[in-house]
């Protein structure tokens, strides 16, 4: 059984790409922090895990810009 939504393996964000949706859960796998959203899973740097852990269950946006990742909460509790 997969930890990701059906048909969704974790993908990496491209430069200037944003993932925005309900953050359902996170897990550490193969040196990455995998953020599982309703639309699918995104592989992020492992060091983002503490920031993500505090916002599970909220609508979140994660933007990749100049090789760095920026997180923000975009809604209240789901």
7-59 pLDDT, tens digit per residue, is: 558 999 999 999 999 999 999 999 999 999 999 999 999 999 999 999 999 99
Nearest to 11 by CA among 38, 31, 40: 40
- pLDDT tier at 1, thresholds 50, 70, 90: very low
What is the model's pLDDT at position 3?
Answer: 58
Domain boundaries, the chain: 18-77
Report the distance separating Cα 51 and Cα 49, nearest Å. 6
pTM (2 d.p.): 0.82
């Amino acid at each position: 059984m997969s930890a990701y939504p059906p048909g969704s393996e974790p993908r990496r964000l491209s430069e200037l790409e944003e993932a925005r949706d309900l953050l359902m859960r996170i897990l550490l796998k193969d040196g990455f922090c995998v953020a599982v959203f309703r639309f699918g899973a995104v592989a992020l740097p492992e060091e983002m895990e503490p920031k993500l852990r505090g916002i599970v269950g909220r609508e979140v946006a994660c933007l990749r810009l100049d090789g760095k990742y920026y997180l923000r909460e975009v809604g209240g509790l789901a």
